[in-house]
Structure 1
């Protein structure tokens, strides 16, 4: 019972986290703000010019034993920012810019999830990570809570109280939906509808703190379209939003290549004495009856989820104890607050380091005598600058009542990634690359 209570609290905190960011779109940490002149100069920097087009990369079918790996790169939450995804990939130096060959014959690259949402280039970001994971045996791409919500959002209304992608925060960026729609379906009305939706979000939701009373749904009592006074315009916006949302969510259906790839993302990855996952490890999942008390149980959970993640099987699985544990593993944030928890978890799993994403800050955090690495450093520019809210980021804009600001995003990438180097005497050196 206690475990179920903990999960309910976690779920509630995730669902209503948008309110905490009401007074400002920025995340609740200090971020270095560059001058406008620096932003303008940086916007044209060719930060991804040396990263090859993944569609042209050769397939690498070689399997490299973990025992030969001497360096592991870990990249945190990318959140719909394909430009910065390519920038951080380039910083690893793992792909030769001339031959497209994998240069890190003794290196591994781990993405800890959350490729989608927050920013407007989620599709391009997830396609980049998917291509790398499929082409190179040394690339691991984990499940994030936002990928899991995409899978849940495919469920019919009777199995889904509220659709994640229709919330007024934390989900699919309106401009990103354009990426999923066929080109001939994007019209002048489509762009006009998005302009109206951005204005309504800024002035009527964020400026007036209406996070719980308004959704980005085309129909229903909470529909943002109810705020449009002109009947013809309201009808147009409803139809365009409904069309775009359907293209978006259907792109991840179980009968699409993209949907099948997301369904198979592992929840955890264990490399010798290191464990990577998105959220964190609640110690309670190890001691409850039917839980996951060991590293091998976590590996079994990966397989159990992958075999149950299709639309027809997901709902009953997520209602099971193991489904609740999966949700906890991608959303739990308790490890950040307790080195005692980290020590307990590491000892039970026989690992030296726990590496997670999910909880953002402006930098990578190396904690608990280097046994806990929190690597979500807000790599995506939209979440870094405007938090959970839908802001285009092309210019700085204030709500009509002046109570909320959507800031212009930077033309450069900030944050950091991690490189773990094996020591001759055993263990791993931790290097944060900024």
Structure 2
């Protein structure tokens, strides 16, 4: 297997060579469909998102951290994160958290989406935050480079014990809460998009069994060694039915929002059913995934460099092929606190070294320019570029040997090599059909 040589000028810029593409180099452009959830609070690391070819990052706006009991607001921390992301060309996607103890019902403090004691105050907080970042020249953040257009509330609202979001109040109050947030965002910036809080993968999997669309066992491991398991019979119980009908579907069907959201972890083969249910229950609203990732360890899978690389490829391309606008990967670095199942999902290891998913993102950033579309084909995907360019990507063994033009070797995940007499693509993790020298990657 020979190395990279004789670099050519690339249609999407960057080091594309006669024999292949070097994915160890930073991505030359940022693709509009790629992003990250939870980039952390240290802007000095945000350039890693740019280097992976990402355009979006999901961050939080905490009522507890921004607001004060006397009604004053301190934007210093959120300003720092917004400015840090915009400095590297990344658009903030902001999720609100109603976690201010002094403004919420104490009985609901076990979740981040605590129930406000005064919905007017909750709405006023949201309007003030959106106003600061809407770019209209009134009360804007100093140095704001572009308007922030993506806002969200009620993350993972189905569970009443979810410390990452949740909802511990009534279903009626939840609808009021979501609608108040939506209206407050639109009052400050009519051009903004309001995203309903994401449905957790665990919840959607249980709901699919409950509603008769699946017959699988749903599980999740926690760092304390405990495991939450829902066998099919449990998922079909009356308590679950009430949550699915009176909370999950009730909010999806009745709340005001622009975009629905589904979190995608665990078996990739479940994603199509998850997305289909979300689309049906939301009345066909546009959707995205504000959290996605793999390999997930809850279902007996193990981490390997190859599994990490392919999880990025499959999750992103499948979401786009299903009509989603983006799939935001879970986590920048492995130091973040998460479930046991997602412990190996983040893109950088504990030493801030890139994992193979970073190489996969750099590849996708070159394949997914603005205007590109993705569809699933037998064994893989077809990407059509905005000017008629086309490339087909197959999992290992998905294309006939005589048709393979390029490949990613299992032993060199940081390279896309051109199939030649000296490069055998037979055992590669990804293979490509079509002359990449004239299509998506090159001029």
TM over 0.5: no
TM value normalised by structure 1: 0.32
Whose RCO is larger (CA < 8 A, sep 6+)? 1
TM value normalised by structure 2: 0.31
